[in-house]
């Protein structure tokens, strides 16, 4: 094992230990070779998610569901992420960006927790697109909910690595078990409140909405619990990737300056941000986003131990892999990167269904921030801790 990959694996183990205070047993198979990743990720025999995914509290939602349910649900949900629907999502994102920009403006000259700000903001957009609830509604409740959602994956990692936590009848007697169940109950209560609020909005509406939201796609096709699970899945999968990826762009002031020059050409001053064609023309922005997702991907790995962190830091594919270098993604360089050597949203049949949504959202946030502000981190890149997440 090369020293670079050895370091990545050691770091991964240290992170697992940090989230596993009970020192329970964990076994992982680890591979960094693209051909092996292709075989694993494309093999339809590997569509089934492992048992411990149920600990996320998503029931039969799209992430943990068995292949039979997953195939049906994915077809139902795909129209929500269609090219046509992206225009509607971009409009919601732009509306939120105006408020988000004002909130940042109020904090100029002061240190801010940008990640938490973005988490609440992206949740706002998801709920508007998914349930038609107004963007500025119940902001304090949304802030509290993002803190609950942030506990889901650490709880999953902790429970999934301790065999004594696998059995519900035993788990509830542990202090962690009681805290875990309380968190899940509070999350369920919030989702039920959102669904009830949506129902009230439509009952009081004079006309049918022009654009169907996420819930419309599922109504009359799956039961209420299924809708609950899929809405929660959408929120968990969609609220964090933008915040995680964006902060790495903001670590690089030289990149910010170059990015600003491109952005201001297509989106001067207060020009609307929902022009999809102009967003696509921002080639350096696309390179920056891809490099951010390579250097510090928002998704950690999978049960077979395909470590995305190691995959994206393979020096044979990415020379000087720790350097933030958007030019890796120039047309002449990007063509040299093999398949499955870049997998921030997974790969194969169970890859992230919302990757285009996430990319558009990330670009719109970046455009709004870069054209309005100059930011610098109060902490060096190396001091930022990583955390484990799951596909």
Domains along the chain with CATH numbers: 3-57+80-383 (1.10.630.10)
CA distance 282 to 290: 13
- pLDDT tens for 215-273 read 989 988 999 999 999 999 898 887 666 766 676 777 777 888 999 999 999 998 888 88
In DSSP terms, which residues pair with 301 in a beta bridge?
A: 390
Residues 370, 261 contacting (CB under 8 angstroms): no
CB neighbour list of residue 234: distance below 8 Å, 6 or more residues apart: 126, 130, 214, 354
C-beta neighbour count of 388 within 10 angstroms: 21
CA distance 164 to 16: 17
CA distance 148 to 192: 15
Q: What is the pLDDT of residue 304?
A: 44
| Paired tokens of 300 | 């950690």
Residues annotated as binding site for heme? Answer: 352
The mean pLDDT value for 362-390 works out to 74
- pLDDT tens for 116-147 read 788 888 888 988 889 888 877 777 888 888 88
How many angstroms separate the most distant Cα atoms in the chain? 65
SS3 (DSSP) at 216: helix
Q: What percentage of the chain carries pLDDT values higher than 70?
A: 76
CA distance 124 to 118: 10
Which position has the token pair 């955390």? Answer: 387
Judged on CB neighbours under 10 Å (0-12, 13-18, 19+), 202 is middle
Give residue 40's pLDDT band: very low, low, confident or very high (50, 70, 90): very low
pLDDT at residue 94 tops 80: yes
Residues 273, 267 contacting (CB under 8 angstroms): yes
Q: Average pLDDT of the chain?
A: 80
| Paired tokens of 226 | 């299924």
Residues 231, 215 contacting (CB under 8 angstroms): yes
Q: What is the torsional sign of CA 116, 122, 125, 131?
A: negative
In DSSP terms, which residues pair with 31 in a beta bridge?
A: 306
Q: What is the pLDDT of residue 387?
A: 59
Q: What is the pLDDT of residue 20?
A: 55
Q: Which tops the pLDDT comparison, 299 or 75?
A: 75
SS (H, E, C) 277-300: HHHHHCHHHHHHHHHHHHHCCCCC
Which position has the token pair 């349910």? Answer: 69
- pLDDT tens for 329-354 read 999 998 888 877 887 887 667 778 88
CB neighbour list of residue 344: distance below 8 Å, 6 or more residues apart: 245, 293, 294, 297, 298, 299, 308, 312
């Amino acid at each position: 094992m090369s020293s670079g990959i050895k370091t990545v694996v050691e770091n991964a183990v240290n992170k697992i230990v940090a989230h596993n205070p009970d020192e329970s047993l964990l076994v992982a198979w680890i591979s960094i070779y693209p051909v092996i990743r292709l075989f694993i990720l494309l093999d339809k025999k590997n569509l089934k998610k492992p048992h411990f995914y149920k600990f996320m509290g998503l029931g039969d939602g799209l992430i943990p569901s068995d292949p039979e349910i997953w195939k049906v649900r994915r077809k139902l949900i795909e129209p929500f992420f269609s090219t046509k629907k992206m225009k509607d999502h971009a409009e919601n994102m732009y509306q939120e960006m105006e408020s988000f920009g004002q909130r940042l403006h109020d904090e100029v000259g002061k240190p801010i927790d940008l990640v938490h700000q973005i988490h609440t903001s992206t949740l706002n957009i998801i709920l508007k697109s998914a349930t038609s609830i107004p963007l500025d509604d119940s902001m304090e409740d949304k802030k509290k909910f993002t803190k609950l959602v942030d506990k889901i994956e650490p709880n999953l990692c902790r429970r999934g690595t301790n065999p004594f936590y696998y059995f519900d009848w035993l788990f509830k007697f542990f202090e962690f078990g009681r805290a875990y169940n309380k968190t899940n109950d509070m999350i369920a209560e919030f989702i039920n409140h959102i669904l009830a609020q949506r129902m009230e909005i439509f009952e009081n509406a004079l006309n049918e909405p022009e654009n169907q939201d996420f819930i419309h796609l599922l109504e009359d096709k799956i039961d209420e619990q299924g809708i609950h699970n899929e809405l929660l899945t959408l929120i968990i999968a969609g609220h964090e990737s933008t915040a995680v990826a964006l902060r790495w762009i903001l670590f690089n002031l030289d990149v910010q300056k170059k990015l600003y020059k491109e952005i201001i050409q297509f989106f001067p001053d207060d020009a609307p941000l929902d022009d999809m064609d102009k967003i696509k023309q921002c080639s350096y922005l696309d390179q920056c986003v891809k490099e951010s997702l390579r250097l510090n991907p928002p998704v950690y790995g999978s049960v077979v131990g395909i470590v995305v962190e190691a995959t994206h830091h393979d020096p044979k594919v990415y020379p000087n892999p720790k350097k933030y270098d958007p030019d890796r993604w120039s047309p002449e360089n990007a063509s040299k990167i093999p398949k499955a050597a870049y997998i921030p949203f997974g790969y194969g049949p169970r890859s992230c269904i919302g990757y285009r949504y996430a990319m558009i959202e990330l670009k719109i946030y970046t455009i709004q921030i870069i054209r309005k502000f100059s930011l610098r981190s109060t902490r060096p890149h190396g001091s930022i801790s990583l955390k484990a997440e799951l596909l």
